[in-house]
Amino acid sequence: MTRKTIDSGQRPGKRPVLAVLHQERSSAGRVGQILAERGFALDIRRPALGDPLPQTLAGHSGAIVFGGPMSANDPDPFIRAEIDFIGVALKENAPFLGICLGAQMLVRQLGGLVAPHPDGLTEIGWYPLEATERGRQILPAWPAMVYHFHREGFALPEGAERLATAEHYPNQAFRYGENAWGIQFHGELTRAMMHRWVVYGASRFELPNAQLGARHLEGRFDYDAPLRQFMESFLQLVFERAEAGCAAA
């Protein structure tokens, strides 16, 4: 088991954020850094390696399920356990963010479809993003380009609001209810993480619509600053708004 808590100056009164990762070398990356800057500790769990998930989020400010190379459709027990756990967040109206695989797990919990592109296209590299009118109402500034590393997408679950779209995978970001959010793209990668993904994921660069590794790294110089700014605002919206409401109650 690998469960651990990272406390980077947790502020009094702020509960930790549960972070669900999927590999031993996985990291919360920039998302963890941004949350630490805002006074949130991380309670890191890796169910794929045997870590348990809590039966309630009453002791947490919310939860994030990150990405991974597996599919939300896989039959592994830990996949089912994570999808069931998301139901706890929904039932308790706790802040929840799913990133890539995590967003697809949220879709599965809501009864939606997760599947490959009908033409076999991937998004692996940097691709344009377009916020919907509803997305701009919630957050005015969205990045024009975002980083992806996936071969599956999802249908928008019934009752969800689409917040951002793109050419090949139209469901890029969504909100369900008040506190559940999903994004298909990756805003959490540090420079070191991207280098590692380019090395370990090189076999995928020849898949349809994927970009070569050099373009991944070049794109970071061109497009990463607006993506980071978006993630700072987005994480504040997801977690600090809800935490402030809890403190005022």
The first and second tokens of residue 34, run together, are: 């941004």
Angle between helices 101-109 and 77-92 (to 10 degrees): 70
Q: What's the sign of the alpha-carbon dihedral 137, 140, 144, 147? A: negative
Question: Comparing C-alpha atoms, which of 138, 53, 60, 43 is closest to residue 87?
Answer: 53
Per-residue pLDDT band at 9 (split at 50, 70, 90)? low
Q: How far apart are CA 123 and CA 115, in angstroms?
A: 13
Does 249 have pLDDT greater than 60? Answer: no
The first and second tokens of residue 27, run together, are: 């990291």
Note whether 27 and 194 are within 8 A (CB): no
What CATH number does the domain containing 81 carry?
Answer: 3.40.50.880
* Amino acid code (one letter) for 57: L
The first and second tokens of residue 41, run together, are: 């500790």
For position 3, what pLDDT does the model report? 60
Note whether 42 and 6 are within 8 A (CB): yes
Residue 32 domain boundaries: 4-248
Q: How far apart are CA 44 and CA 70, in angstroms?
A: 19
Number of domain units in the chain:
1
pTM of the model: 0.93
Per-residue pLDDT band at 240 (split at 50, 70, 90)? confident
